[in-house]
Structure 1
């Protein structure tokens, strides 16, 4: 398994080289793609992926975090086409996954907002057609399309996630794993069982992993989960790591949602400490001897 974060994310070839030593300080060998990666030319995408590999880095994910359930047909078509272009660039670069959310029917068009429709059979059927439309005709060799779970949609609990993945039935489609997004009342005080069930059902479908810890804020009137530093919440991180190591050795694991490098530094240290306690470790960056690497680049024309 390889560790990375959303904060230390090189946005260009020059930043790739400049950031390599900083990544080494924290024991990182995974990065995410630049924010504008969907706008890269094929040659630029290929060059970025090749240089990352030459530096011993695995680019684990990219994504388009917009609402695909909008009823605006023109806007939906635009988002689908942009994501298809992102998938294509990701495959050219050798990026492991490109990811989205399910989205929402909420009038705000903000993809994480709740709506009753998001939990219906009709929503599952509609989103299945969107996923198949996205994947139609793309001969992906390196990249898989993953959906990140979120509690305001049907794509939330392990059984429902498995049922949807089976219904799509595409070999390049799976789960963008984030156990922190899958916590419910039933699992909050037993995340160990949640993790074990999730991996038992979905181990073969994981495309990338996020690691976070969650705390229940009792002072808030109503249900509210807060993300907190690793080890200060309910997540059984040791069990999570043990299961991640059963996936392929290059599986990328990311920390997110902190605002300062020092906060990431603290959480990297905690995660390495937990891993060592389990006899585990994250793969270090290992620069390659040759910078020329063959990828599944699409032919021009």
Structure 2
């Protein structure tokens, strides 16, 4: 199994030239993923930030922005028509989609069978209520999004209590508030292979430490993981319900 091909550009951005380039990047990424037999292409919906394609901006939630993004996604899928590979959008703390309900609405609006869900629950932790009750956030995601879920990212979040108002940082698995028992139980209940990929660590030792935490929590939660070792996002089929990859996913950027 190849878990994913990452296309980290936002198609729905203010600059028309960048928007066109980003759209073509997703088209090429989907074609590459289809050749690899990858589970999905993971990308982002886009943002109205003038410099950052996934940055915070007050217009990220404007209806016209969402409508344009939906048309772009539909056009990409209608052009490529992937048979196995799904196109997915990362959930984000400050842009569409930013909740399970918002993701469901986006799925309904896109209305294409090749559009699916990539779950990175840390990206949803954008306020104290979610931070202190990540288990509820995860259970809601699995309750509402399970039929559409094809891949997940694994990391953690921690609050810097010295800073006012609230400030959250990404951190290594097991050093934050993410309820990994709820995460792994949710994956296990799916009854099918869904890759779970650690990300954003700097060294092999940090990845190994994160894996050890996942193994420990899985054992305590009674979840049998399929450990699959590969390189840079590739793996074999595990035959179990939760699959952990040793490295990050394929990263794809269109040539400039």
Show structure 2 runs of 5+ residues with no match.
229-234, 238-256
Higher CA-based Rg: 1
CA offsets per residue over residues 91-150 of structure 1, 9 Å max, x none? 121100001112211111x12211111012112111101111111132312200000011
Quick one: which of 142, 145, 148 aligns to 2:87? 145
The answer to whether the 8 A contact 2:11-2:45 is kept is: yes
What's 2:8 paired with?
A: 65
Root mean square deviation of aligned Cα: 1.7
Match of 1:84 among 9, 27, 37: 27
Aligned residues: 230
Give the one of 266, 269, 273 matched to 2:216.
273
**1:287 and 1:147 mapped to 2: Cα distance?**
24
Deviation of the 1:213 alpha carbon: 1.5
Contact 2:13 2:53 in 1 (8 A): no
Contact 2:14 2:50 in 1 (8 A): no
- Counterpart position of 1:292: none
2:74 paired residue among 123, 132, 137: 132
Q: Distance in 2 between matches of 1:72 and 1:188?
A: 34
Deviations 1:6-34 (CA, angstroms, capped at 9, x unpaired): xxxxxxxxxxxxxxxxxxxxxxxxxxxxx
Query: Which residue does the alignment assign to 2:161?
Result: 218
What TM-score comes out, normalization by structure 2 length?
A: 0.84
In the other structure, the counterpart of 1:121 is: 63
Match 1:163 to one of 105, 119, 134: 105
TM, length-normalised to structure 1: 0.72
Whether contact under 8 Å (1:102, 1:111) holds in the other structure is no
- 3-state SS of paired residue (1:128): helix
Is this contact kept in 2: 1:67–1:104, CA < 8 A?
yes
Deviations 1:26-65 (A, max 9, x none): xxxxxxxxxxxxxxxxxxxxxxxxxxxxxxxx21011211
| In the alignment, structure 1 residue 181 sits paired with structure 2 residue 123 | yes
Q: Deviation at 1:68? A: 1.5
SS of alignment partner, residue 265 of structure 1: helix
Would the aligned equivalents of 1:120 and 1:154 in 2 still touch at CA under 8 Å?
A: no
| Offset at residue 73 of structure 1 (A) | 2.4
8 A Cα contact 1:272 1:281, kept in partner:
no
Of the structure 1 ranges 72-81 and 170-179, higher mean CA displacement relative to structure 2 is found in: 72-81
Counterpart pick for 2:53 among 111, 130, 134:
111
Distance in 2 of aligned mates of 1:99 and 1:164: 15
Contact map agreement 2:93 2:123 (CA 8 A) in 1: yes
Indicate whether 1:172 and 2:111 are aligned.
Answer: no
Name the CA distance, whole Å, in 1 between partners of 2:173 and 2:164. 25
Structure 1 gaps of 5+ residues are 1-57, 289-301
Judging by fraction of residues, say which structure has more strand. Answer: 2
